[in-house]
Amino acid sequence: MKIVALSCTQKRVPSVTDALLEAAITGLVQEVGDAEVQRIRLIDYRIAMCEGEDTCLDPAVGRCPIDDDFERVVEMAEGAEAMLLAMPVHGGNVPAVLKIFQERLKSFMNAPSRPFGNLQVATIVHSRTMLTEPALGALFPWYLRLKNRNVASACVSQNDHQDLTRTAAHDLCVAVGRQLGMTLDLGRSPAPSRTVLPLLQSPPRPRCGEAVPSFPQA
């Protein structure tokens, strides 16, 4: 089973984004031992901005005419069934390296199958202070257009922590990876050591016209 691990860091050197993504990969492998993980750091490839000419949408052309590493990245994800995506927040939104990649995928708009589409997805978003949730929400139109299904998400903020990788964020990302793995392997029985959470239900509410039950005073 092939899974894409997409790092959307904008740092050339190993970053917090990479570390959180590796934690999620660890959790994924715990559930899907035979997973083939294809790691992709977008910043390591030459992916130019979309020029907006829309010639790629012409059936006679059928591909993006820009000569860079875009098609190479697309080929690396071929055959994947799921994706782990980790990204930092930049300006309250997705980082530019991912936004450029999203726009370039437009060249497959009229293709029978779209790369990075029809996948089970788990998403990790982190920031220095806040705005992780709006950045996560900005991904959903892209996921919907590609017919992806986001099955788990984690939003973590660094705040006053000196090193986010030394906090519970690591364990949270492991859990996100495990959740994706369990979703991919629904046919397996729950492990004996896995805790079953109790289902808490509120008492039935009276219907319109029914007497409201009285409770003794404390």
Find tokens 């591909």 and name the residue.
63
pLDDT for res 40 = 98
CA quadruple 174, 178, 179, 182: dihedral, nearest 10: 180
pLDDT for res 103 = 93
pLDDT for res 191 = 54
CA quadruple 152, 184, 86, 154: dihedral, nearest 10: 20
Cα–Cα distance, 26 to 32 (Å, whole number): 10
pLDDT for res 21 = 98
Cα–Cα distance, 36 to 79 (Å, whole number): 11
**For residue 84, which of 167, 173, 188, 185 has the smallest C-alpha distance?**
173
pLDDT for res 190 = 59
| pTM for the full predicted model | 0.86
pLDDT < 50 regions, the chain: none
pLDDT for res 130 = 81
